[in-house]
Structure 1
Amino acid sequence: MHKPLIYNILIASVLFMSCGDQAENPMNEQTITAEEILADPINYPAISYSGYREITRDSVPTIPELKEDMRILSAIGIKIIRTYNVYLEAVPRLLKAISEMKEEDPDFEMYVMMGAWIDAKNAWTDEPERIRDEDSPRNSKEIERAANLAKEYPDVVKVIAVGNEAMVHWQTEYWVEPGIILRWVNHLQNLKDEGELPESLWITSSDNFASWGGGGSEYHKEDLNKLIKAVDYISMHTYPMHDTHYNPDFWGVREDETELSDMEKIEAAMQRSLEYSVSQYQGVVDYMKSQGVDKQVHIGETGWATVSNGYYGDEGSRATDEFKSARYYELIREWSEENGVSVFYFEAFDEKWKDATNQLGSENHFGLINLQSEAKYMLWDEVESGVFDGLTRDGKPITKTFNGDLDALMETVKVPPTDAEIQAKQEQE
């Protein structure tokens, strides 16, 4: 079984410039940098965060709700969170909430990898064509607001990520050519050079492993090579859970595993899932080095949903349940710590707006904590040890899913299909 993932807190020493220099330019304040945070996943574990409670993002979390979430995440050792856009009010409110919490408690630490959303021209419209090498009119406003927020909260915002899966081709609604991302990355780097943004602020884009050159040659474009040189580090995504359906070569029960116990079959599949993620990470590293570049590469997203009535559930690849999710969480965190690679695990809390018309869709169930304020299996030990004592979410204390009944949880756990079953299903499709 998994062991508690309680992380030691490293309180960074804060070095100040002279009082006169601070008065002239508060960005001269020297604090821990993104470079240091991302290279130290033991003391600065990371997670993706939105915090929406309702079925639509029109209902934006309040500052008290955001503070509530930050206390919960801090209780399990999280020190840096990743957000996705600034055109909605959730992130400006979040930055304000964190800033206020730091003022109230100088020992409180929470930093932000702030996303700036990027779309192709005509994305999310009725226009028949998405123009991949042109910006949506909103992109410039998104970048401007992100820059302004980074300037306003230099002690909180440590990274700006230009785009989220904005270059991967299966994002058919909005993907752009890498030249679009490159232009905005260069723009933000120029603002740093001009002193308009903190010099230590890191700029990247957070995208699928294939988009960073770790997949097919269709992504190996000159603008991508330039982008690799332009970013301060690479933030890549890997999702073996999704590929239990789309590319299940690593999944299932091998012919030589049929005599194993059910738990041994599951463990073998989960170990291969980790290996699959690591191979995608290594593919990005290898491509980066083939371009003569050697810089940090971190995982900007990976995760494992606990519910699916679709491709990943009992009628599909049988991947989604709390036991497998907890096992992947443990495996990827252990690998992260052993290799000094930051992993922004997806995600902190379940959200129901992502698949609003299908509440059992997997996209709604990636959180460590569900919408009933119940900690899923990967956090049961933390509940037991009392790290959530005195904390609530939406007025509810943090308790265990399944009322802490492991036998009831295990009844939901299915053994992955055999290789033969997977092949037969692929042939049917």
Structure 2
Amino acid sequence: MNSNSLLHLKLGIKSIALLAMLLIVVSCKKVTKINNAPKTKEVTAKDILGNPNYLAICYGGYRKNSREIQPTIAQLKEDLLILAAMNIKVVRTYNVHLAHASNVLKAIAELKKEDPDFEMYLMLGAWIDCQNAWTDLEKNHDVESERNAIEIDEAVRLANKYPEIVKIIAVGNEAMVKWAEEYFVQPNVILKWVNHLQKLKKDNKLSKDLWITCSDDFASWGGLDDTYKVKDLEDLVKAVDYVSMHTYPFHNTHYNPEFWKIPNHQGNLPKKDLTDAAMNRAVLFAKNQYNAVQNYVRSISPNKPIHIGETGWASSSDGFYGNEGSKASDEYKQAYYYNAMREWTNKEGISCFFFEAFDEPWKDSGNPLGSENHFGIFTVDGKAKYALWKYVDDKAFEKLQRNGKSITKTFKGNSENLMKTVLTPPRH
């Protein structure tokens, strides 16, 4: 090999070496860029509550007339997919002493694993009772049940096990309202457990982004009269991350019916117009209860968020709300209330946990026609009630089933037959 050939060979080897080094550097830079890519921000309660992109609903998956028959994971996944199809992204459960809540969490976790785009979060309820609740013994509403501590501990365990799903813990459900004679407690009991959970957050034993509340009747949050407005309630307002209040114009069509009855000057209107006017008054009734709570809460903590933890409308009743009572219960009125409340709360930045997703026959198992069994916007066998007919038309539930049946409309989609069931509210 001559000197010129040798020189060219050495230069070629150097060029190859430099090119290899350059490729390594570029490759490393690319890896570095990928590793430093911004991570997707974790969704928190602060992001969810008041955001109309995260519609909320109360959920019990019980399909039989007893809670001893727990829904399976597969059944819960069926339900969650149905709810997701209508843009529900937050569900509320009520206790942790039954398997339902932990199984709902398992079901969501499995769905997320199967589809990374599946998005569902949980408001986890911890049930609170007074001493001797649900027994034949005399109730002591000033002393709490020993079971409460176990319930809170289990809620903490589940929140820590599923931090990507559990975003809210609610201490008690209608646990301070005095008409809950079987189990209510004084506000100091709720305050004790809310403070306990807030301390766990400070001590890094719960996520700092987890929000703590109590979900209770509007009266319990100072929206009715001064009997509820005690120092412990003031401290509770300050302690919770937000106020979760309940409002039920439906029940008040019997217990407080003045707003519901048809005024004399509307006597000659068609039935549909009379019904629509009554439903407008019902929505206004709910807004007024929200405003009453807001006025009290803002007097204590001006920037405290207030959301609706429960409101709903039953589609059937053979009792106080049926044909022999206030005539409030039918699917048309339920749909009117559902749509009006969604429209109002979405516009105002209020989360509304509508009560509820599916009919639950265990609630009044001795009376299948009782209103408590019919608050769902789906029937037990998966028929979409009138409030959701538009989703069926849009094929939102296509390929989804409940109990082996496709999601179809009630009344076989015949609106004339549905309107025949509408009861005109009573007159003054």
TM over 0.5: yes
1:249: how far off? 1.4
1:292: how far off? 3.8
Please tell me the residue identity of whatever aligns with 1:325. Answer: Q
Please tell me the residue identity of whatever aligns with 2:230. Answer: K
Per-residue Cα deviation, 1:60-100 (whole angstroms, up to 9, x for no partner)? 11100010000000001100001000000011011011011
Q: Supply the distance in 2 between the matched residues of 1:292 and 1:277 (Cα, whole angstroms).
A: 22
Alignment of 1:258-269 (within 5 A): 258-269=267-278
Partner of 1:197: 206
Provide the secondary structure at the position in 2 that maps to 1:299: strand
Partner of 1:62: 72
1:29: how far off? 9.7
1:331: how far off? 0.5
Q: Match for 1:219 among 215, 228, 252?
A: 228
Alignment of 1:287-302 (within 5 A): 287-302=296-311
Contact 2:63 2:361 in 1 (8 A): yes
Per-residue Cα deviation, 1:95-150 (whole angstroms, up to 9, x for no partner)? 011011111111110000000000001101121x2111211111000000000000
Using a 3 Å threshold, how does the CA distance of structure 1 residues 192 and 238 change in structure 2: closer, same or farther? Answer: same
Please tell me the residue identity of whatever aligns with 1:32. Answer: V
Q: Match for 2:394 among 385, 390, 403?
A: 385
Partner of 1:166: 175
Per-residue Cα deviation, 1:190-211 (whole angstroms, up to 9, x for no partner)? 0000000000000000000000
Contact 1:312 1:318 in 2 (8 A): yes
Contact 2:175 2:185 in 1 (8 A): yes
Partner of 1:92: 102
Partner of 2:49: 38
Q: Match for 2:256 among 203, 222, 247?
A: 247
Q: Match for 1:270 among 255, 262, 279?
A: 279
Contact 2:175 2:184 in 1 (8 A): yes
Q: Supply the distance in 2 between the matched residues of 1:29 and 1:324 (Cα, whole angstroms).
A: 41
Alignment of 1:29-428 (within 5 A): 31-40=42-51, 42-127=52-137, 129-419=138-428
Contact 1:133 1:179 in 2 (8 A): no
Q: Supply the distance in 2 between the matched residues of 1:149 and 1:188 (Cα, whole angstroms).
A: 13
Please tell me the residue identity of whatever aligns with 2:91. Answer: I
Q: Supply the distance in 1 between the matched residues of 2:374 and 2:306 (Cα, whole angstroms).
A: 27
Q: Supply the distance in 2 between the matched residues of 1:272 and 1:414 (Cα, whole angstroms).
A: 16
Runs of 4+ in 1 over 4 A off after TM superposition: none
Contact 1:209 1:284 in 2 (8 A): yes
Contact 2:50 2:346 in 1 (8 A): no
Q: Supply the distance in 2 between the matched residues of 1:252 and 1:32 (Cα, whole angstroms).
A: 44
1:261: how far off? 1.4
Using a 3 Å threshold, how does the CA distance of structure 1 residues 188 and 29 change in structure 2: closer, same or farther? Answer: farther
1:259: how far off? 1.7
Per-residue Cα deviation, 1:353-389 (whole angstroms, up to 9, x for no partner)? 0001001000000001101211000111111110110
Contact 1:229 1:293 in 2 (8 A): no
Using a 3 Å threshold, how does the CA distance of structure 1 residues 140 and 319 change in structure 2: closer, same or farther? Answer: same
Contact 2:96 2:154 in 1 (8 A): yes
1:295: how far off? 1.2
Deviates more, 1:364-373 or 1:289-298: 289-298
Provide the secondary structure at the position in 2 that maps to 1:375: coil
Q: Supply the distance in 2 between the matched residues of 1:191 and 1:329 (Cα, whole angstroms).
A: 37
1:291: how far off? 1.6
Q: Give % identity.
A: 54
Provide the secondary structure at the position in 2 that maps to 1:81: strand
Please tell me the residue identity of whatever aligns with 1:37. Answer: I
Contact 2:237 2:301 in 1 (8 A): no
Contact 1:336 1:343 in 2 (8 A): yes
Q: Supply the distance in 1 between the matched residues of 2:422 and 2:309 (Cα, whole angstroms).
A: 28
TM-score between the two structures when normalised by the length of structure 2? 0.90
Provide the secondary structure at the position in 1 that maps to 2:285: helix
Q: Supply the distance in 1 between the matched residues of 2:40 and 2:103 (Cα, whole angstroms).
A: 23
Provide the secondary structure at the position in 1 that maps to 2:214: strand
Q: Give the aligned length.
A: 391
Per-residue Cα deviation, 1:239-298 (whole angstroms, up to 9, x for no partner)? 000000000111021011112111111111000100000000011110011124421100
Q: Which runs of 5+ in 2 are unaligned?
A: 1-34
Q: Which runs of 5+ in 1 are unaligned?
A: 1-18, 20-27, 420-429
Using a 3 Å threshold, how does the CA distance of structure 1 residues 275 and 146 change in structure 2: closer, same or farther? Answer: same
Using a 3 Å threshold, how does the CA distance of structure 1 residues 65 and 411 change in structure 2: closer, same or farther? Answer: same
Report the aligned-residue RMSD.
1.2
1:395: how far off? 0.5
Q: Supply the distance in 1 between the matched residues of 2:209 and 2:349 (Cα, whole angstroms).
A: 20
The higher radius of gyration belongs to 2
Q: Supply the distance in 2 between the matched residues of 1:94 and 1:262 (Cα, whole angstroms).
A: 42
Please tell me the residue identity of whatever aligns with 2:371. Answer: S
Q: Supply the distance in 2 between the matched residues of 1:399 and 1:309 (Cα, whole angstroms).
A: 25
Per-residue Cα deviation, 1:319-361 (whole angstroms, up to 9, x for no partner)? 0000000000010000011100000000000010000100100
TM-score between the two structures when normalised by the length of structure 1? 0.90
Please tell me the residue identity of whatever aligns with 2:220. Answer: S
Please tell me the residue identity of whatever aligns with 1:107. Answer: D
Provide the secondary structure at the position in 2 that maps to 1:334: helix
